[in-house]
Amino acid sequence: MVTWWKMYPCWRLVTILLAMIFNGSRTSFALHNGVGVTPAMGWNPYNAFACNTVESQYHSNAQAVVNLGLKALGYNYVNLDCGWQGTTRNASGAFTWNVAALPNGVPALATFVHSLGLKFGVYSDGGFFACDAVGGTAHFLGSLGHESQDAAIFASWGADYLKYDNCYAVSSTDFVDFDPPIEIQPHYTTMRDALAATGRPILFSACEWGVQDPARWPASSVANSWRISNDIGPPASWDNLFRIINQLVPITGFAGPGGFNDLDMLEVGNTGLTTAEQQTHFAFWAAAKSPLIISTDLTTISQAALSILSNPRVIALNQDPLGQSISFKRRYTNDHDVWAGHLSDGSMVAGNTLVVINMANSARSIAFELSDVGITSATAINVITGASLGTLTNSFTSAFDAHGSLVLKLSNFVSATPPSFTFYQAAAAGNVLGGGASTRVINNTITVVGFVGEGGTLGFTGIDGGAAGGTKLLSLDFVNADFTETNSACSNCRNAFISINDGPAVQVQMPLSGQSWDILFSGYLVSLSGFVAGKTNTVQISNPTAFTPDWYRIGVSV
């Protein structure tokens, strides 16, 4: 292995150290290919046209990026997606294009895109073939084994961006494998090095669908962005957003300048989401520092969708030079989520993402508790409307559309005293494990209780309710690696039902903690009532129909 400082000429070293000092983030791992320092913005046809996009559509959409004012807002890449490639290499082994889709060829299209002052992106695949069948036994070309040659040709055609997919990664017959028996990271590092060798700055967008936990490779040393999940669509749906949002929870800390979690291309403008849902989708993707790649037909886009995509304040959250993603702060199950993160000017972006599952299509008012983001008061701006809200203290109640959201920029904030907890380990003697519940040891260090649910139960005893009992804030440390690429009632989450002193069981919906069963989530907060004074309280965890996460410990507020 090469020590990291040997990988860079001296002038780069200075930049890297400054970046480390001033950002305090994970920039030491970033790619430093000079592009993608903030999340990529642009247009790609896939969510609108799948693999059937033709030259005239690339032309008209590139022109629309300029004419609709999107280029001026920072959307500067126009990218190819599947279907542009040929099915056979030429006599020199070089990559070819689909002449039916692109009769004038890729170099001419690149020239056209560049003539508009935009950048041009190509698409390939790290496997034997690219995604999607052409018909019959033919396949679109992939780049496996041809990385240097392909990178050089893409660069010579004027490519500024490469989206790199993951189909046929294992063999020429295994189309999509979410659990491949091989390591896929080398497909991406080989292409990263091939792109670097061209000498042309080419933004590298890894599209490995979150397979093998790329954030922890870490993918920030491989690509400028990496997909965290399976496709967002088409078709677009609220369930797809919910699946991806849960999948982001454990990896928000891996985003930083030059390397970002990619939540997939935008569905704003496409059917399947209400206007409020599209607004939530766009604001959440922006604040999570996902690339903002528009993927709708811009020649027919509605004014409502265009104004969502054109909001300069939301775009500014995305392009903030600190590059910090919002992170999960609190979930009020079946009610709303709170996420927050810092911006480079010292302010904080925070907001409620309403996640009403049983109350879809109902508008209502919600109180945002400032303590959920660790503060008691702040000056606030509504990021979506631009309205100044003055000083908020303790809580702020506002109206929400169904699946709508509130996005606030908070400054001049006063920190709240953090709650303090008494912790109780799940595996402690005196607790009662029922049904199939059993203990397991992680990393020879901590013991957790698993197989809770489906008959298994975990009962804590001897919990201190303090002098008054009543309602307590609980802090839950758990492990949940039950990740999925498809939608279910609880995609990338598990439900626990928690009962205090044999009172009513309260549903608590808990997101992923990681992609392996040794990664903890610490500090999931939930308020539960029914405690009595003194040290005789019990906390019972169960789920009649599914497994809960595995449990390390619970904290009960003092």
Ligand X SMILES: *[C@@H]1O[C@H](CO)[C@@H](O)[C@H](O)[C@H]1NC(C)=O
Among 94, 357, 402, 428, binds ligand X (CB under 6 A): 94
* Closest distance of CB 108 from ligand X, Å: 12
Provide the minimum distance between the beta carbon of 153 and ligand X in the complex, in angstroms, as a whole number.
5
CB distance 101 to 82 below 8 Å? no
DSSP assignment, residue 336?
E
Quick check: 363 and 401 in contact, CB under 8 A?
yes
* Tokens describing residue 356: 């009403």
**Part of the chain binding ligand X (CB under 6 A), chosen from 243-251, 294-302, 321-329, 514-522:** 514-522
Q: Which is nearer to ligand X, 316 or 442 (CB)?
A: 442
Q: Which stretch binds ligand X (CB under 6 A): 136-144, 247-255, 403-411, 515-523?
A: 515-523
Cis peptide before 45 (omega within 30 of 0): no
* Three-state secondary structure call for residue 171: coil
Supply the minimum distance, in Å, between the C-beta of residue 251 and ligand X: 12
Which string of x and - marks every residue 266-305 that binds ligand X (by CB under 6 A)? ----------------------------------------
Consecutive H or E run containing 156: helix 147-156
Roughly what angle, to the nearest 10 degrees, separates helices 106-115 and 55-67? 10
Query: Is residue 335 near ligand X by the rule CB under 6 A?
Result: no
Nearer to ligand X, 415 or 445 (CB): 445
Quote the tokens at residue 549: 């996460």
Would you count residue 427 as binding ligand X (CB under 6 A)?
no
Near ligand X in 61-90, by CB under 6 A:
90
We find the least distance from the C-beta atom of residue 103 to ligand X, in angstroms, to be: 15
- What does the alpha-carbon distance between residue 351 and residue 537 come to, in Å, rounded to a whole number? 34
Nearest approach, Cβ of 414 to ligand X (angstroms)?
33
Residue 443: CB minimum distance to ligand X, A: 4
Of 344, 268, 406, 408, the C-alpha closest to 38 is: 344
The C-alpha torsion from 538 through 544 and 547 to 549, rounded to 10°, is -30
Please state the closest distance from residue 156 (CB atom) to ligand X, in A: 7
Closest CA to 79 of 204, 210, 200, 194: 204
Work out whether 3 is an interface residue with ligand X (CB under 6 A): no
Known catalytic residue at 482: no
Nearer to ligand X, 137 or 443 (CB): 443
Whose Cβ is closer to ligand X: residue 332's or residue 551's?
551
Nearest residue (CB) to ligand X, 173 versus 444 = 444
Q: Which residue is nearest to ligand X (CB)?
A: 94
CA atoms of 141 and 118, how far apart (whole Å): 26
- Pairing label, strands 348-354, 506-511: unpaired
3-class DSSP state of 280:
helix
d(CA 220, CA 95): 28
Among 3, 88, 92, 358, binds ligand X (CB under 6 A): 92
Q: Which is nearer to ligand X, 412 or 516 (CB)?
A: 516
The CB-of-123 to ligand X minimum distance in angstroms stands at: 17
Residue nearer to ligand X on the CB measure, 515 or 542: 515
Interface with ligand X includes 519 (CB under 6 A)? yes
Extended beta strands in 401-536, E state:
405-415, 421-425, 432-434, 438-442, 446-450, 457-463, 470-479, 493-500, 506-511, 521-531
Q: How far apart are CA 354 and CA 358, in angstroms?
A: 12
Residue among 113 and 317 whose Cβ is closer to ligand X: 113
Q: Does 21 contact ligand X by CB under 6 A?
A: no
- Please select the residue that binds ligand X; options are 153, 255, 343, 433, rule is CB under 6 A: 153
Interaction of residue 528 with ligand X, rule CB under 6 A: no
**Using CB under 6 A, which of 442, 505, 532, 546 touches ligand X?**
442
Q: Any contact of residue 402 with ligand X (CB under 6 A)?
A: no
- Choosing from 174, 231, 401, 464, the catalytic residue is 231
Binding residue for ligand X, selected from 310, 316, 518, 536, defined by CB under 6 A: 518
Nearer to ligand X among residue 335 and residue 518 (C-beta): 518
For residues 192 and 182, give the distance between their C-alpha atoms in angstroms, rounded to a whole number: 19
358 touches ligand X (CB under 6 A): no
Nearer to ligand X, 10 or 91 (CB): 91
**CA distances (Å), origin 425, targets 297, 394, 439:** 54, 32, 11
In the list 56, 137, 397, 443, the residue contacting ligand X (rule: CB under 6 A) is: 443
The reply to whether 91 sits near ligand X by the rule CB under 6 A is yes
The number of residues that bind ligand X (CB under 6 A) is: 12
| Nearest of 157, 162, 229 to residue 193 by alpha carbon | 162
Q: How many CA atoms lie within 13 A of 457 on its CB side?
A: 19
Residue 288 neighbours by CB under 8 Å, 6+ apart: 248, 252, 255, 261, 263, 325, 326, 339
Q: Are 400 and 365 in contact (CB under 8 A)?
A: yes
Does the active-site annotation cover 550? no
* Marked catalytic residue, from 125, 132, 150, 165: 165
State the residue for tokens 């990271």. 185
Stretch that binds ligand X, among 30-38, 353-361, 412-420, 512-520 (CB under 6 A): 512-520
Distance of alpha carbon 61 from alpha carbon 59, whole angstroms: 6
The only residue of 445, 467, 544, 545 in contact with ligand X, by rule CB under 6 A: 445
Nearer to ligand X (CB atom), residue 509 or residue 513:
513
To ligand X, the closest distance from the beta carbon of 450 in angstroms equals 13
Which is nearest to 478 in space by CA: 463, 498, 504?
498
Stretch near ligand X under the rule CB under 6 A, chosen from 127-135, 289-297, 358-366, 518-526: 518-526
**What is the binding site for ligand X (CB under 6 A)?**
90-92, 94, 153, 442-443, 445-446, 518-520
Catalytic residues, by residue number, are 165, 231
